[in-house]
Structure formats: structure tokens, C-alpha cells
Amino acid sequence: MGFRKDSVLRRSSDVPSRAVEGKGILVDLESGYYFSLNRTGQFIWEHLDGVKELQEIVLLMVEQFDVDEETCLKDCIELADCLAADGLVVSAASG
């Protein structure tokens, strides 16, 4: 998808999700697949609200987790690309 640090994404409207002990489970109603997220993945998922840029989420993560900004941004973009490829998130600009 090639997202950048100023990309703004939001969770797709038809993806039920649930956090358990900090980790996340997503259900793709279209395919019937379940996806699981680790703690950092769940943190990112919760902040993909259609308002924050990925860079802002990264700054929040650096405060919360023991990770440097550069690594965190790379991982955040990688996860966003994966989620978008499965239709679980969309660009906020896409309406």
C-alpha cells in the first residue's frame, strides 16, 4: 500500500474486534478469517481512529513501549500495510 508517516487510517466499519489481556482478535466478516494482534499491534489498532497520523501513533508508542522511534515507525507502517491488504483498515481519505 505504501503508507507513509503522515498517512491517516481508520479501522474498517465491519470488523468486529476484541482485546483480551492487551492482545487483539479481529474478525473479517467477509472472509470469515480471524486475525490476532500482539500487544503493540493492538495498541496501533486502537489508535487507527481516522484522525491520528501514523507518526502520532508512533510517538505514543515510544512513550508506552521500550522501542526507538525509527524501528517503531517501520513496524507501524508494515502493520498498516498488512491490515490494509486484508481490508481491515482503510485510508481515512477514502471516506
Partner 1 sequence: MSRHSLQMELLGERLHVNAAREDLLTGIRHAGVLLLCEESDKSPQLTFSFDLAKSGHPPCVPPGAPRAVSEQKDFEIYPEGDNFVVVVEQKSTAHCRYDDCVVTISVHPDHQTNSWIIGHRLFFIPLLEWMRYKNWYPIHGACFQIDGRTIVVSGPSGSGKSTAALSAIASGCTILSDDTLFARREGTIIRLDAFPEPVKIGSGSARFFPEWSNQFIEGHGKFSISESELPGEKRITGATPDYLLFPEIVEKERTELVPLGKETALIKLMPQSVLPEGHEVMQRHIDLLGELVEQTETYSLLFGRDVRDLPDRIRSIL
Binding site for partner 1 (CB under 8 A): 13-21, 23, 25, 27, 29, 32, 34, 36
**Closest separation in Å from C-beta 67 to partner 1:** 21
**Closest separation in Å from C-beta 95 to partner 1:** 18
- Please give the angle made by the CA atoms of 61, 48 and 72, to the nearest 5 degrees: 30
**Closest separation in Å from C-beta 19 to partner 1:** 8
* C-beta of 18 vs 74, nearer to partner 1: 18
DSSP labels for 28-74? -TTT--EEEE-HHHHHHHHH-EEEEEHHHHHHHHHHHSS--HHHHHH
* C-beta of 73 vs 89, nearer to partner 1: 89
* C-beta of 23 vs 52, nearer to partner 1: 23
